[in-house]
Amino acid sequence: MTALTRYKLRKLAKYTLVTVAVASAFVLFSGERLDLQMGAWALLGLWTGILEEYFFGRRFRALAVPLQFLGKVLLVNLLTIALIALAFAMDSDRFNWFAHDQPTRVQEIFLMAQLYKLMLRVVVVTSIAILVVQVEEFMGRRLFIGFLLGRYERPVAEERVVLTMDLVGSTGLAERMGDMRYFRFLNFTYSLMTDAILRNEADIHKYVGDEVIFTWPMRVGVRYENCLDLFFDIQERIREHEDDLRGEYGVVPQFRAALHGGRVISAQVGHTKRALELSGDVMNSVSRILGLAKDMKVDLLISAELLARIPSAAERFRIGPQSMVPVKGRKREVRVHTVERTRKA
């Protein structure tokens, strides 16, 4: 099973679990029994997830976040009503959603108070489910779960892989395009990275203007060479859309990147505005490695320390000669290698 498939299945599971949890709270609060109707709510959650992932897609991305939310809620409930009417039209004898006052015609469904009570509950439950999943995606799974569990209230030491990518010639591009057009250019470029990010199981730690920082738990980052493949998969996605980029913005973006891994400190910072920050020697070193990549004009540099944890890298990647990077505050230099991909996984 690919990482992209796992991501989609996790998203469907999130919608299903949140919908069932919210519906269960409503049922218990109203004094009703938790019975087989929970199966119907689970199906509603699954249906909502399928619509979000496979039907809505990026159709609402151009709208403001509140309009995205309202549009999705409206469509989910309209399509749910349509399914109820279709179910009755196909087999009215088995249509027993309502325990009494059974309808005999499709039109009668819309004159029944039970339908509107049911739909009000459906609207509230699906709205909460969509809101929770959207907030989780906005914050990032790692920060969202960490916030719920209070994991990062105190600093936590973790073994993580860090990849930082910087846009080549960003200052000149910004001056040539102007602020608004440059922002649209960056946003379009970042959106192209989505499939590669999901495929290689990466977390986006943060965007810093024209720089993007990705991170993985050490085990996930080195598995299947995810941390190496991400950079080259992003390059490939950009090449696939270079005609669109050149036609719209007159340029195809190029990135340089640095890759390092080891012990980092993760912690929430701030009070009125909270963020999850990474600190430690790894973050300092990866910044220096990126600076060397710019000086050497190479696409990707990886630290020898991290490369030693990926013994199978030589099977698909060409490893260049070793260079040394002086790191402020360290008693020794960091050894780095250039990397090129010879074949995909």
Q: Which run of H or E residues covers position 211? A: strand 211-217
Are 140 and 129 spatial neighbours (Cβ–Cβ below 8 Å)?
A: no
| Cα distance between residue 84 and residue 220, in whole Å | 43
Structure tokens at 187: 């946003």
pTM over 0.85: no
Q: Give ∠ CA 108-110-112 in degrees, rounded to 5.
A: 75
Higher pLDDT, 90 or 75: 75
| pLDDT in the model for residue 30 | 74
Q: What is the DSSP string of 197-227?
A: HHHTT-EEEEEETTEEEEEEEHHHHHGGGHH
Residue 99 pLDDT greater than 50, yes or no: no
Which segments of the chain belong to CATH 3.30.70.1230?
150-341
Q: How high does pLDDT run on average in the chain? A: 83
Which residue in 59, 95, 90, 88 sits closest to 74, CA to CA? 59
Residue 288 pLDDT greater than 70, yes or no: yes
58: helix, strand or coil: coil
Give Dmax (Cα) for the chain. 83
Segment 106-164, tens digit of pLDDT: 555 556 666 677 778 888 888 888 888 888 877 777 777 777 777 777 888 999 999 99
Per-residue pLDDT band for 298 (boundaries 50, 70, 90) equals very high
Percent of the chain with pLDDT over 70: 83
Segment 19-28, tens digit of pLDDT: 999 888 888 8
Burial of residue 199 (number of CB atoms within 10 Å: 0-12, 13-18, 19+): buried
| Cα distance between residue 229 and residue 345, in whole Å | 8
Residue 207 pLDDT greater than 50, yes or no: yes
Per-residue pLDDT band for 307 (boundaries 50, 70, 90) equals very high
Report strand pairing: 300-303 vs 255-269: parallel
Arithmetic mean of pLDDT, 84-113: 56
Are 301 and 295 spatial neighbours (Cβ–Cβ below 8 Å)?
A: no
| pLDDT in the model for residue 66 | 74
Structure tokens at 109: 């469904």
| pLDDT in the model for residue 237 | 95
The domain over range 150-341 is classified in CATH as 3.30.70.1230: yes
What's phi and psi for 272, nearest 5 deg? -70, -30
Burial of residue 28 (number of CB atoms within 10 Å: 0-12, 13-18, 19+): exposed
Task: Please give the single-letter amino acid code of residue 185.
Answer: F
Q: How many residues does the chain have?
A: 345
| Cα distance between residue 319 and residue 46, in whole Å | 45
- Chain centre to alpha carbon of residue 20: 23
Are 259 and 299 spatial neighbours (Cβ–Cβ below 8 Å)?
A: no
CB atoms within 10 A of CB 312: 10
